[in-house]
Amino acid sequence: MIRDLCDGQLEGAEIGSTEITFTPEKIRGGIHTADTKTAGSVCLLMQVSMPCVLFAASPSELRLKGGTNAEMAPQIDYTVMVFKPIVEKFGFTFNCDIKMRGYYPKGGGEVIIRMSPVKQLNPISLTDRGSVTKIYGRSFVAGVLPFKVAKDMAAAAVRCIRKEIRDLYVNIQPVQESKDQAFGNGNGIIIIAETSTGCLFAGSSLGKRGVNADKVGIEAAEMLLANLRHGGAVDEYLQDQLIIFMALANGVSRIKTGPVTLHTQTAIHFAEQLAKAKFTVKKSEDEEDATKDTYIIECQGIGMTNPNV
């Protein structure tokens, strides 16, 4: 996909290969289609292409096909409800139109991402978590799965959260995806906590054959609660997705996180090697974090400039 975005040369990109050679050229805007032909995640296609098209010569439309709610990747609901509002703090906006939802193993989903290029990215500071003010979410079934499954996942999640957070109304909507907007069968849940300073945290889970609905709901709730315990201002899944934008931004960015994930360490390693950005990771020195596993990731961005804008 990236080769096509920039009329580049790519060698060795086949199954079984242990090495690729990639030579990029000028990044083009316009319409680009990428199809995983499986339940491969459209969100991962978006993750890799977004930093590129921000520096294209003209606006882009990315037509991405595959899984929208797949394992080992952000669900599209996470991308829209958590990633989007936070990443837009870097000074750009994008539109995500979910045409069709697709699940493992069939895929068949499609989303359209539209965005315009920028001159430069602004640095961000996400270090003040604030207090949790709202908890909401969506619990879905698609295809042949009964609506009761969506209701059961939501109810189990609410019960789990109530044990720890008693003073907030937890609003998880059960949803039956409409036939014309979902391909195949699937079920899952995403729960979001919003704070007084605009931070967003999520917990999510997908149903699998033979796993009862309550377990799926509880898994998502426990993931959310774990992300609220560490005192960071981003959840464990947003950490690594922000690294490349911090590296490219013009100035110093800082984010407060819980334990730094292996994904984040890897993203920092490559951002330093490829973009020559400088990162530091330090234990948070704030009093309220003394007993917690909380870190500050700071980056001196390279101030990448778009020559076309």
**Other Cβ atoms closer than 10 A to 273:** 9
Q: What is the DSSP letter of 39?
A: S
Which of 62, 65, 18 shows the shortest CA–CA distance to 39? 65
Give the C-alpha separation, 190 to 146, whole Å: 18
Instruction: Answer yes or no: is 240 a known binding residue.
Output: yes
Per-residue CA distances from 149 to 41, 192, 212, 218, 288 (Å): 24, 20, 8, 13, 40
Q: Which of 32, 230, 263, 269 is catalytic?
A: 263
- d(C-alpha 274, C-alpha 248), whole Å: 11
Instruction: Tell whether residue 239 is among the known ligand binding residues.
Output: yes
Q: Is 238 annotated as a binding residue?
A: yes
Half-sphere exposure of 20 (CA within 13 A, CB side): 11
Q: Which of 101, 90, 97, 98 is nearest to 301 (CA)?
A: 90
Tell me the C-alpha distance between 196 and 264, whole Å. Answer: 26
Enumerate the β-bridge partners of residue 190: 138, 204
Residue 263 annotated among the catalytic residues of the structure: yes
Q: Which residues are annotated as a binding site for ATP?
A: 47, 237-241
Q: Which residues are annotated as a binding site?
A: 47, 237-241
- Catalytic sites, residue numbers: 263
